[in-house]
Amino acid sequence: MFTVLFDQGSDGRMYGVWLLSGLGWTLSLAFFGWWLAFAIGLVVGIGRTVENRTIAILSRVYVEVFRNIPVLVQMFLWYFVVPELLPASLGTWIKQMPPPWGAFFPALVCLSFYTAARVAEQVRAGLEALPAGQREAAAALGLTERRTYWLVLVPQALRLIVPSLTSEVMGIYKNTSVALTIGLLELTAEARQISEETFQTFAAFGAATIIYLMLALAAYQLMSWIDERARIPGTAPPARRKSLRLLARRLPEGASP
């Protein structure tokens, strides 16, 4: 069934190589996008819990805006709209970036900002789940607000939210496929191209599906490993013991067993 992957495509490369190149774009988008999203989400999530009203409101606005516009529309905004709204010279420079990068960078920015809003909500939930005594004890020790967050609150909150960050990691790698709408040839786009050239739709989509499944499994295993390492002793619900039951317990966002 998958023999088509070893046939030569219209550009002289094997179709399997097309898929691998698509996988490369998917992985780089997901990887770099994730770290940017994590960094921004951490800052915004902390911002939602600080006492300074201005910062708290700005963080809230960030989350509401980036969470409530579909990722496809955000993709179009970064790709079509932002270069037009910037000063002409800068906009032209962006529009003249050579082909893969011209789509890659808008997609990267889009996915980072979108996922960051969701990460921020998880970070906030983690911070709010900590007992008030943590903050009070830090104050009693004379730590400044910055040091309280950096040394006491954030490390604990992050250890608490590893499981819910898992679903955000899953989310960003799945959302990379939206980049095909602005012309980035990532995994799904390559699969569609192969199917259009060869009419071997089963093989093309099947191969892409298997790759996505393996990515999901890898991401899930990695996150459970991190969770096992980082978990605060005594906080784990007993149901969280078995690590190999991949899908039995991927809780949706906001669900608490």
Residue 64 engages another protein in binding (rule: CB under 8 A) = yes
In angstroms, rounded to a whole number, what is the distance separating the alpha carbons of residues 251 and 182? 31
Size of residue set near another protein by CB under 8 A: 51
Stretch that binds another protein, among 31-39, 83-91, 142-150, 230-238 (CB under 8 A): 83-91
Question: In terms of CB distance, is 7 or 253 closer to another protein?
Answer: 253
Residue 170 engages another protein in binding (rule: CB under 8 A) = yes
CA distances from 41 to 44, 46, 63, 120, 158 (A): 5, 8, 9, 4, 12
Residue 125 engages another protein in binding (rule: CB under 8 A) = no
In angstroms, rounded to a whole number, what is the distance separating the alpha carbons of residues 249 and 177? 25
Nearest to 166 by CA among 255, 252, 238, 65: 252
Stretch that binds another protein, among 33-41, 48-56, 67-75, 158-166 (CB under 8 A): 67-75
Residue 129 engages another protein in binding (rule: CB under 8 A) = no
Nearest to 48 by CA among 124, 153, 147: 124
Residues numbered 217 to 236 that lie near another protein (CB under 8 A) are 217
Spell out a b/e string for 29-56, using b for 16 or more CB atoms within 10 Å of the CB, else e. bbeebbebbbebbbebbbbbbeeeeebe
| Contact (Cβ atoms closer than 8 angstroms) between residue 115 and residue 172 | yes
Stretch that binds another protein, among 34-42, 122-130, 143-151, 174-182 (CB under 8 A): 174-182
Residue 141 engages another protein in binding (rule: CB under 8 A) = no
Residue 85 engages another protein in binding (rule: CB under 8 A) = yes
Q: What are the tokens at 198?
A: 């060869």
Q: Which residues of this protein are in contact with another protein, per CB under 8 A?
A: 64-65, 67-74, 76-77, 80-81, 84-88, 91, 170, 174-178, 180-181, 188, 191-192, 195, 201, 205, 208-209, 212-213, 215-217, 246-248, 250-255, 257
